[in-house]
Amino acid sequence: MTTADIGLVGLAVMGQNLALNIADHGYTIAVYNRSFERTKDFTAHCAAHEPSHARVLGFEAISDFVKSIKRPRKIVLLVKAGAATDATIDALIPHLEADDIIIDGGNALWTDTIRREKALSAQGFAFIGSGVSGGETGARFGPSLMPGGSATAWASLEPIWRDIAAKVDPVTGKQLDGATPGNPIAGGVSCTAHVGTDGAGHYVKMVHNGIEYIDMQLICEAYSLMKTMLGMNAGEIGKVFEQWNQGKLASFLIEITADILQQTDPADATGNTWFVDKVLDTAGQKGTGMWTAANALELGAPANAIAEAVFARALSALKEERVAASAILKGPSLPVETDRANIINAIGDALYSSKICAYAQGFQLMVQAQKEYNWTLDFGTIAQIWRGGCIIRADFLQKITDAYRNDAGLKNLMLDSYFTNALHDAQNNWREVIALATRHGIPVPAFGSALAYFDGYRSATLPANLLQAQRDYFGAHTYERIDAPRGEFYHVDWPQMPRVQSKM
C-alpha cells in the first residue's frame, strides 16, 4: 500500500526524533532500521506515548518499506556516517524507481556526499546531503537544516523540510520555543534553505561545527580566567554568563554554560560541590572540527582560531602527561587579581571580539570553498538558518545576515561597519586580557590566535618578505619585488651574491 509521504532509515535517537517531528507536522512516515528490534521498540513507544503515532508506520522488510512511500520517494537516512551510509544506500537501490530521492541527514564528509550524489544521479535517482544541527532536542522539535543537492530534488523535499525545521521570529530572529509532542510551532521563519548543489549542505554543516568548536573553546577560556585569575567559584562565574546572555553575547552556548556552572553535583547530597568541578578535563571529539581545520589547511584559508580549538581539545586529552609535566615545568604564580568587575568586563570584550574573528574565519573559509567546489553560497541565508535549532544559534548571527545583505560580496566579516566598530571598541580590553593571562601563565590559545588573526589581517605589511628571501636562499623558490609588478619572479644566486655591508 502506498501511504507514506516520506520514509526514514536509522532509528537511533536522532532518527526517532526526526521521524516524530515529521509525524507531528501531519505527514505519514514509514520507518525502517537494519535491526527490526529497534523498529518494534520505537513503534511500541509511539503507540504508548506519542500523539502522532498513527502516522508512524514501521516495516521489517526493506522492500515493503520502500513500496509504502509515495513516488517520487523521499527517504531520509540517519545512520552512522561512512560505511553504514553506503551500505544502507546499496540496500535501498534495488527497490528504488526513477527520480526517487535519498536524503542523508547524517554527519557525512562533504566529499562523500559529492561522490554519492554523482553515483545516484547517474542511476536516475537523486541525492540530497542535508546537515542537521541541534542534537536530539533539535531533531525532535526543530533543527537547523542545511540541504545540498539538485534544485528539483530540493523542490520535492522543501515543504517537509520547511515544516520540521526550527522557527525564528521574523522580526527579532529569536528561536520560537515551546513545542511539545503533537504540538509543533506554527508560523515563524524556517531555519532551512537550499544551500547549494551536491556536498554544499554537508560542507556548511561541517563549518558550523568548526565554529562550534571555537565558540565553545572561547567560552572555556573566559571561564578559566575567572576561575584562576579572579578566584571565582563556578556559581559566581555562572552568574556572569547569565548576565552576558542578556547582552550582545546572547546565545544558546552562553545560556547552557550559565546553567551548567550553577549546577551542583548530583552525586553530593550536601549540595556543596559544583558539578563542573567534578568533570574530568579531557575533551572528546568526533572529527568535524578536525575536518574543518584540515580543509582550511588544504585550501590555504587562515582559519587559525578554528584549528586552535581542535588542538586545544587534543592537548586537553593528554591529561596524564599534563599532570606529570605540571610538577616539572614551572610558570609564574601571581596572586589573584582584585579588580574583578573591570576584568570581567574586559573578558567579555575579549570573548566577543574573538568570536567575531572566529566567524570571520568560518565565512572566509566558505568563500574559498565555494570557488574550489563550484558552489554559489548565500552567506546571509546561511547565517539566517543558523539563527534557530542549531548549537551556535545566537543573536549575533542576525548581524552577520545584515552584513551580507548589505554587501553580498563582503571580503571579510570584520570589514562590515558593525563588526569593525565592535572590534575597535573592544580591542584594548581584549589585548589587556591576553596580556594578563600571559603574565599569570593561563593558556588562552583561542583568544590569542583570534587576536593574531585580527592583527595579521589588518597588517598592510607582514614579515613574509623575509620568509620569501629565506625560501629563495635555500630552495631557489624565487620572490616578487615591491618595486616590480605582481607576477614577476626574481631569484638571487645566493652563493654568487656579493655580500655588501650596509652603511646604514
Active-site hit among 50, 212, 221, 308:
212
C-alpha–C-alpha distance, residues 266 and 263, integer Å: 8
Asked if 212 is an active-site residue, the reply is: yes
Binding mask 426-445 for ligand 2AM (x = CB under 6 A): --------------------
C-alpha–C-alpha distance, residues 200 and 272, integer Å: 49
Number of residues that bind ligand 2AM (CB under 6 A): 12
> Which parts of 149-247 are beta strand (E)?
167-168, 189-190
Instruction: For residue 221, give every residue at least 6 positions away whose Cβ sits within 8 Å of its Cβ, in sequence order, or none.
Output: 351, 443, 444, 445, 446, 447
Stretch that binds ligand 2AM, among 76-84, 136-144, 216-224, 422-430 (CB under 6 A): 76-84
Q: Which of 12, 294, 442, 452 binds ligand 2AM (CB under 6 A)?
A: 12
C-alpha–C-alpha distance, residues 364 and 374, integer Å: 15
Q: Which of 16, 21, 38, 131 binds ligand 2AM (CB under 6 A)?
A: 38
Q: Is the dihedral of CA 240, 245, 251, 257 positive or negative?
A: positive
Kindly provide the b/e burial profile for residues 258-279, where b requires at least 16 CB atoms within 10 angstroms of the residue's own CB: bebbbebbeeeeeeeebbbeee
Count of CB atoms situated within 10 Å of the CB of 496: 6
Count of CB atoms situated within 10 Å of the CB of 236: 16
Stretch that binds ligand 2AM, among 47-55, 80-88, 180-188, 440-448 (CB under 6 A): 80-88
Kindly provide the b/e burial profile for residues 446-483, where b requires at least 16 CB atoms within 10 angstroms of the residue's own CB: bbbbbbbbbeebeeeeeeeeeebeeebeeeeeebeeee
Q: Which of 390, 396, 444, 386 is nearest to 419 (CA)?
A: 396
Q: Which of 40, 45, 67, 80 binds ligand 2AM (CB under 6 A)?
A: 80
Nearer to ligand 2AM, 88 or 144 (CB): 88
Interface with ligand 2AM, residue 11, by CB under 6 A: yes
Q: Which of 16, 28, 33, 370 binds ligand 2AM (CB under 6 A)?
A: 33
Q: Which of 47, 87, 279, 435 binds ligand 2AM (CB under 6 A)?
A: 87
Asked if 411 is an active-site residue, the reply is: no
Active-site hit among 74, 117, 167, 205:
205
Interface with ligand 2AM, residue 93, by CB under 6 A: no
Interface with ligand 2AM, residue 79, by CB under 6 A: yes
Enter the DSSP assignment of 180: B
Interface with ligand 2AM, residue 34, by CB under 6 A: yes
Stretch that binds ligand 2AM, among 82-90, 146-154, 213-221, 317-325 (CB under 6 A): 82-90
Residues noted as catalytic: 205, 212
Binding site for ligand 2AM (CB under 6 A): 10-12, 33-35, 38, 79-80, 84, 87-88
